[in-house]
Amino acid sequence: MSVYLHAFETGSNARAGIGRRFEFRNRIRPHNSMGVTPDMCHEQNRIKAA
């Protein structure tokens, strides 16, 4: 889904669509170079720093 090319009908629709995009980018989509999601990467770094 590309929020950049989508004309949302209402602000609520835009908020929901953009929220889904952020969820995908930040939690679901693997990092291309690492093979893990950003959340997994941050958690690994947090554990290493502790």
Residue 12: predicted pLDDT? 94
SS3 of 36, please? coil
Predicted structure pTM score: 0.49
What domain range is 21 assigned to?
3-49
Question: 17 and 8 in contact (C-beta within 8 Å)?
Answer: yes
Confidence of residue 2 (pLDDT cuts 50, 70, 90): low
Q: Which residue has the higher pLDDT, 15 or 2?
A: 15
Q: What is the pLDDT of residues 6-46, one digit of tens each?
A: 788 999 998 998 888 888 777 777 666 667 777 777 777 78
- How many domains is the chain built from? 1
Residue 7: predicted pLDDT? 83
Residue 32: predicted pLDDT? 65
